[in-house]
Structure 1
Amino acid sequence: MSRHIHIYAFDMNCVGHINHGMWRHPRDTSSRYNTMEYWADLARTAERGKLDGIFLADIIGVYDVYKGDPSTAIASGAQTPVNDPLLIVPIMAYVTKHLGFGVTVNTTYEPPYLLARRLSTLDHLTNGRIGWNIVTGYLDSAACGMGLSAQPDHDARYDVADEYMDVLYRLWEESWEDGAVRVDRMAGVYADPSKVRPIRHEGQHYRLDAIHLSEPSPQRTPVLYQAGSSTRGRQFAARHAECAFIGASSPEAAASIVADIRAKAVAAGRAARSVKLFSGLSVVVGRTEKEAYDKFEDYRRYADIEGALAHYSSSIGIDLSRLDPDEPITYRKTNANNSALEAITTRSADSAWTVRRIIDQMVLGSRQKPVVGTPEQIVEVMRRWVEIGDIDGFNLPRTVAPESLRDFVDLVVPVLQEQGLFKHDYARGSLREKLFETDSPHIDAAHPAARFRRPA
């Protein structure tokens, strides 16, 4: 395997992200998520380990499917309360020089005209280190919070998002020409009006007649991430995403999803590897196998299964409290996270999934078991995912914070580097230049955003 693995720390601006209940551990500091020091420390650790970036998840709404109300999620801290992910990026950017940032923003409830400015602002403040994770949401509670009775249909949300992206591409790529900003003090001209044009869009879902409010940022269009691997989500990823996050229970299961997305990218006129694919991986590492398993047994005493079931029920749109523990879970189309439900029904090659089997997986309060072992054992698992699953990298959710990230940086990263699987230092340039080893911060010419680019 010749290519380097890409690695992100995976987090969320809340106390309980993926491994629910870990905030109760005496060494965990995630209850300080609403302080600047917490995020500055996380960023410094990630950059010390040469990680590609910090990927920030987000959710709008609360998990109220399980038992018919949000009480379980609120009590367990399962992504409730949750703060804005964009506002902590400048804190982390200020204390780092190379670390990238991926932020999740929901297209269903954010006007494109305003989001374009917010992301351009972050691209300026980070000097080209910002990426956007495109999601369309999956909670009816979010729709109710936005004045609707229910969220739009799952696939229809992606149809709307396709047009949403075209609006943003035009604002970022077309509105301001290269060279429009002159900063000519003698002439009293900051920007040349002849090189700034309004974007006029009349579509099925959006109307716009306005110039982009921000001058061109280093990358113009931020690096584009996408986190849906449902059938419709893969189509969207193949057209728009530069990085996509998939959910799979094994490297073999990942391989089929990865192959499908790469084939769809080619069909959309892009190169197969123009989309980098990432998988989540929870890690508990020790200097010895005994140390790792002692740590794991210590952690698991704090796992919150009820919080995990509340999260998962909302993810798949099915109240798991109403099912018999041994009743096979079957696929039914919902407006929630279809890829999460497909992963245990239509895409599961082994025996049927039940509530009891899901609970058996939730050893650290997550529906995915962690990888436990020595640095060498962890690296071997990662290598297997890359070689068999053909993925490009990993998102590492926290277990006990900041201990889990520090352990990975101090113990696993050196072994990855020794085996030639991970970089020893950062490349120069923007986040896009680092990820794709290119000499331009701008999006690839084969990407649909590039058709709106105005010649210099």
Structure 2
Amino acid sequence: MTNTSQKSTKKKQILLNAFDMNSVGHINHGLWTHPRDQSHRFNELSYWTDLAKTLEAGLFDGLFIADITGVYDVYQNGIDLTLKESIQLPSHDPSTLVSAMASVTQNLGFGITVNLSYETPYQFARRFASLDHLTQGRIGWNIVTGYLDSAERLIGQKGLKDHDLRYEQAEEFLELCYKYWEGSWENDAIRKDKVNRIFTDPNKVHQIQHQGRFYQSEGVFQVSPSPQRTPVLFQAGASPRGLAFSTRHAECVFIGGDQPEKLKQQVDKIRELAVQQGRNPEDIKIFVGITVITAETDVLAQQKLEEYASYASPEAGLAHFSSSVGIDLAQYADDEAIPYRQTNSIASVNNKFKENKITPNDLKAQHKLGGRYPLIIGSGQTVAEKLIQLIDETGIDGFNLTRTVAPESHHDFIQYVIPELQQRGRFKTEYAQGSLRQKIFQHGDHLTALHPASHFRCQNSKDKQHIVKETVDKQSA
């Protein structure tokens, strides 16, 4: 009896992000045509502030906003379907939404996708440090390196850089950002001493010197230390090079799949690689993207699915998928096996053609709602039990919940699923205090001493004591 009781108290609390994009069509394509869908209002600020208030009322950990640079122009060698179905086009800059949403919430985190290939490290680091201040430590960065040739052409380049070269550039980009965020200002540099006319102690602000392969920088970072210093780091690399990068840097990793055994293999590999990188494997939280259709009963949920499916566009999902793998899938007959062909696009998605026989018909069936994420259907009780089962069988930590009909699907999830998870003790009933990092990991506002960013911290005496103590604590544990 004692062992059972002890085991039950250790059940993992589920982390939950809403997964969205500053556009009409995001993952589940074609549903913008549903009469109750409001995604066409994505260019109105109230659409986003209302969403933020809804998610906070539902105790979501964060709103994760995807983004792309470029357009989906691989399918049928053009953008006609992309424009007609609004397949992430038009799409707007997600970082512009954060301050407004932060002003109407107190706890909701914001994970913002920014492609580092088209940014300069200094301007990016300054923008996100500023957002960390304005959100009081609720900002995260989803690190992407890009996969669209159309993006390269937009910025005047001839084509996408080699997959692994993009990660080499990303490594240096991160290193330089760490120098800005962690190494330029000491923790107590700001004094705000009106009597002695000292706002900042000059002895506690340091110049950055960086001469690298991709970037050069010299000078003082313009932003004083924000609550988290470095934003919470998200990443979704699944190729061997991408996994090496994510297990070195990321705190939250997104993986894909719908088969528990394969998800568990990915989770185990990520945790093992984290240890090889000298990190605590529990310092990485692993999320899976899902789509949920829920209602009062299983029967009503199934009816809602059929209603939604009548508005969805599987072909639009296929067009999105074409750009993800860099192959025009329109060239193949519906029942023709799609051959594997190496491209510079998303390696983990493209490899599926190497591993399995897949036809366009298979993909259209998978894209019943216009998206390829695992689809979970049922009453709140049924969905909650399936989510808990996935968590317990695979070792993942949480989910990125895509929208279907906006904002109806989030309201449904909050009404039907959240209470069932709470009754089972698997989802919080109130927010923890502190920054986004503190809420997720409960080890403080800043990155731990085991993270590579710690090598670039200001080495004043206070910091040294903190780093030494933190390292000793880790070793003792």
Which whole-Å CA distance do the structure 1 matches of 2:239 and 2:289 have between them? Answer: 16
Moved more, 352-361 or 422-431: 352-361
In structure 1, which of residues 215, 223, 241 is the aligned counterpart of residue 232 of structure 2?
A: 223
Which whole-Å CA distance do the structure 2 matches of 1:325 and 1:318 have between them? Answer: 15
Q: Which amino acid aligns with 1:205?
A: F
SS at structure 2 position matched to 1:395: strand
Moved more, 131-140 or 175-184: 175-184
Would you say 1:111 and 2:120 are equivalent positions? yes
Aligned to 1:32: 41
In structure 1, which of residues 424, 429, 436 is the aligned counterpart of residue 434 of structure 2?
A: 429
**Residues 50-449 of structure 1 mapped to structure 2, 5 A cutoff:** 50-342=59-351, 344-346=352-354, 348=355, 352-438=357-443, 440-449=444-453
Confirm or deny: 8 A CA contact 2:41 2:47 kept in the other structure: yes
Confirm or deny: 8 A CA contact 1:371 1:378 kept in the other structure: yes
Confirm or deny: 8 A CA contact 2:257 2:374 kept in the other structure: no
Which whole-Å CA distance do the structure 1 matches of 2:385 and 2:412 have between them? Answer: 17
SS at structure 2 position matched to 1:441: coil
Which whole-Å CA distance do the structure 2 matches of 1:371 and 1:172 have between them? Answer: 40
SS at structure 2 position matched to 1:98: coil
Which whole-Å CA distance do the structure 1 matches of 2:233 and 2:398 have between them? Answer: 16
SS at structure 1 position matched to 2:117: coil
SS at structure 2 position matched to 1:108: helix
Which whole-Å CA distance do the structure 1 matches of 2:40 and 2:303 have between them? Answer: 24
SS at structure 1 position matched to 2:288: strand
SS at structure 2 position matched to 1:172: helix
* Residue 359 (structure 1) shift: 0.7
**TM-score relative to the length of structure 2:** 0.93
Q: Tell me the alpha carbon deviations over residues 240-268 of structure 1, each in whole angstroms, 9 at most, x when there is no partner.
A: 00001011132211111111111111000
Q: Tell me the alpha carbon deviations over residues 32-68 of structure 1, each in whole angstroms, 9 at most, x when there is no partner.
A: 0011110011111110111101000000000000011
Which whole-Å CA distance do the structure 2 matches of 1:333 and 1:261 have between them? Answer: 24
* Residue 102 (structure 1) shift: 0.2
SS at structure 2 position matched to 1:141: helix
Q: Which amino acid aligns with 2:448?
A: D
Q: Which amino acid aligns with 2:214?
A: H
Would you say 1:451 and 2:459 are equivalent positions? no
Stretches of 4+ aligned residues off by more than 6 angstroms: none
SS at structure 2 position matched to 1:345: helix
Confirm or deny: 8 A CA contact 1:362 1:369 kept in the other structure: no
* Residue 377 (structure 1) shift: 1.0
Confirm or deny: 8 A CA contact 1:359 1:367 kept in the other structure: no
Which whole-Å CA distance do the structure 2 matches of 1:236 and 1:44 have between them? Answer: 34
**TM-score relative to the length of structure 1:** 0.97
Which whole-Å CA distance do the structure 2 matches of 1:188 and 1:375 have between them? Answer: 59
SS at structure 2 position matched to 1:325: coil
Confirm or deny: 8 A CA contact 2:98 2:110 kept in the other structure: yes
Confirm or deny: 8 A CA contact 2:315 2:364 kept in the other structure: no
* Residue 398 (structure 1) shift: 0.3
Confirm or deny: 8 A CA contact 1:247 1:340 kept in the other structure: no
Q: Tell me the alpha carbon deviations over residues 132-185 of structure 1, each in whole angstroms, 9 at most, x when there is no partner.
A: 000001000000011101010111101110111000001000001111111111
Which whole-Å CA distance do the structure 2 matches of 1:219 and 1:312 have between them? Answer: 36
Q: Tell me the alpha carbon deviations over residues 269-301 of structure 1, each in whole angstroms, 9 at most, x when there is no partner.
A: 001121110000100001111110111111011
Confirm or deny: 8 A CA contact 2:314 2:365 kept in the other structure: no
Which whole-Å CA distance do the structure 1 matches of 2:275 and 2:336 have between them? Answer: 40
Confirm or deny: 8 A CA contact 1:182 1:190 kept in the other structure: yes
Confirm or deny: 8 A CA contact 1:251 1:384 kept in the other structure: no
SS at structure 2 position matched to 1:160: helix
- In the alignment, structure 2 segments of 5+ residues that lack a partner are 1-9, 463-477
Which whole-Å CA distance do the structure 2 matches of 1:128 and 1:241 have between them? Answer: 17
* Residue 441 (structure 1) shift: 0.3
* Residue 369 (structure 1) shift: 4.7
SS at structure 2 position matched to 1:282: strand
SS at structure 2 position matched to 1:10: strand
Q: Which amino acid aligns with 1:387?
A: D
Moved more, 78-87 or 255-264: 255-264
RMSD value, Cα: 1.1
